[in-house]
Chain A
Amino acid sequence: MERSIENIWKEGFQAEEKLSAPVISNLYKRKSKLVIQQIKNRSKKDNLSLIPVALIMFGVLAFIGKALLGLYVVVLISALFFLNKKTLKNLEAIDIKTNTYEYLITYRNQIKNITTKTTWLLGIGLPIAIIPAYWIFFDGTKVMTNFKELALGIEILIVVGMTLVLLLLGVLSYRLSTRMMYARLLERLESTIEDMEELMKNSFGK
C-alpha cells in the first residue's frame, strides 16, 4: 500500500526517540568562529594586496628611470608584508578550544595591541623610510642642489617638518584605512562580546 509523506512524517515522529533538545552550551561558538574567520580573511587579503602594489611601484619607478628607488620601495613593502604575516601567524595561534568568550577577548586584545604597535611603527617608521626615498628620488636634480645650498638650520627645519607631516599622514592613513576595511567586522566582534557578557549574567552564560 502506498504511504503518503504525511503518514511517514507523522508515524516517524511518533516513534522517534532522538527528538530530545540538545544541551545549550557554549553559545556563540559558531558566531565567534565566523567573525574571527572574516577578520582573518580580510587581513590575509589586505596583506596579500601589498605584493601587486610593490610590483606596480617598482614597474612605474623603473619606467621613469628610478629603478634603485623602485628596489628600495619593494624592500620596504616586502618588510611590511613579512611583518604582517608574522603578526597574522600569532593571531592564528589563539585557540577557541579554551572558551569562546575568552577567545574573543584575547582576539580583541591582540587586535588592539597590533593597532597600537602599527600606529607607532608607521608614525616613526614611515618618515625614516620615506625621507631616504625622497633623497634617492631627488638626488642629482635641481631640487636637491637648491636644498644643499640652504643654511643648515633651514635644512634641519625642512627635514623635521617633512618628518612631522609624514608621521601625521602615515598615522591618519593607517587609521582611516583600518576603519574603512575593518570597522564593521570589529563592531560585530564587539557586539558579540557584549551579547555574551549579557548572557553570562544569566544561567546560560558559560
Chain B
Amino acid sequence: MSKDFYTQFILPYAGIIIKICRAYTDTEEDFQDYYQEICLQLWKGRDNFKGNSKWSTWVYRVSLNVCLSLLRTDKKVSKNSVELPEVEGSLQPDANPFTNESLQLLYQAIKQLPDLDRAIILLYLEENSYREIAEIMGLSANNIGVKITRIKKKLKELLDGKIY
C-alpha cells in the first residue's frame, strides 16, 4: 500500500471505518486489527472498484464485509477455544472509546444487536438512503425500511431508562 493511496482514498473515509470498527470490536487491539485489515482489503481490492458506485459506498461495503468476516473467524476461533499468542497491548475491553457518554451508551446498545442489524443501523445513522443501504447490504429498499423500524424499536428498548 502506498502512502498516496492511504492519504487519498482511505484517510478521508477513516471516520466511516472507525465508526464501523467500533461497533464490531470490544478491545482496542481488535479495533486496530479490524481497522488495519479494512485498509489492507481496500488496497488489495482497489482494482475491483469499477466506479459504478461512490467510493464511500465501496468503503462501507468493504468495511462491513471485513468486520463481519473477522467476527465470524473470531467466533469460530473462540468456539474452538484457541488461545492466541500473547501480543503487546492490552486485551482488556476499551471501556470508554468515546468521550460523549450518550454516544457511548448508544454504541453499547448497537453492539447488542445481531451482526447484520448492526451494519444496517450504522449505515442508516450515517445518513445513507434506503436505496444506498440496500445496495451495500444486497437487500431490497423496502426490506431495509422494515428492518430499520424494527432495529430502532429494539435500540429504544435497550436504551430505555439510560438515555431516553
Q: Which residues of A are at the interface with B, using a C-beta cutoff of 8 A?
A: 2-3, 5-6, 8-9, 11-13, 15-22, 24, 27-31, 33-34, 36-37, 41, 95-97, 195, 199, 202-204
Check B84–A202 contact: CB distance below 8 A. Answer: no
CA distance A27 to B2 in the complex (A): 13
B155 contact set on A, CB distance < 8 A: 5
A15-B100 CB under 8 A given contacts A30-B37, A37-B82, A204-B3 = yes
Contact A41 B82, CB 8 Å, known A5-B155, A8-B163, A27-B36: yes
Nearest-CB distance from A171 to chain B (Å)?
Answer: 32
- Residues from chain A with a CB closer than 8 A to the CB of B80 are 41
Q: How far is the CA of A48 from the CA of B137 in the complex (A)?
A: 43
Q: Which residue of B lies closest to A96 (CB)?
A: B85
| B1, A97: Cβ atoms closer than 8 Å | no
B39: chain A residues at CB < 8 Å are: 24, 27
**Which 9 A-B pairs rank lowest in CB-CB distance, beginning with the nearest?**
A12-B103, A21-B14, A12-B100, A30-B33, A9-B125, A8-B102, A203-B3, A22-B32, A204-B1
**Minimum distance in angstroms from A92 CB to a CB of chain B:** 9
B139 close to chain A: CB less than 8 A: no
Q: Tally the A-B contacts, defined by beta carbons under 8 Å.
A: 101
Among the listed B32, B82, B88, B98, which residue makes an inter-chain contact with A18, where contact means beta carbons less than 8 Å apart? B98
Using a CB–CB distance below 8 Å, which chain B residues touch chain A? Answer: 1-3, 6, 11, 14-15, 17-19, 31-33, 35-37, 39-40, 44, 70, 73, 77, 80, 82, 84-85, 87-88, 97-100, 102-103, 106, 121, 125, 152, 155-156, 159, 163-164
Partner of A202, one of B1, B15, B125, B164: B1
B101 (CB) vs chain A CBs: closest residue: A12
Given A3-B102, A9-B106, A11-B100, verify A37-B84 contact (CB < 8 Å): yes
Minimum C-beta distance from B14 to chain A (A): 4
Is A5 a contact of B152 with CB atoms below 8 Å?
Answer: yes
Report the Cα distance A97→B99, complex, angstroms: 31
**Does B6 contact A16, Cβ atoms closer than 8 Å?**
no
CB-nearest residue of chain A relative to B94?
A18
Residues on B with C-beta less than 8 A from A18 are 97-99
Given A16-B98, A24-B6, the answer on whether A3 and B164 have CB atoms closer than 8 Å is yes
A20's nearest neighbour on chain B, judged by CB, is B14
Do A33 and B98 have beta carbons less than 8 Å apart? no
Q: Is the pair B163, A34 in contact by a Cβ cutoff of 8 Å? A: no
Once the chains bind, are B77 and A37 in contact (CB under 8 Å)? yes
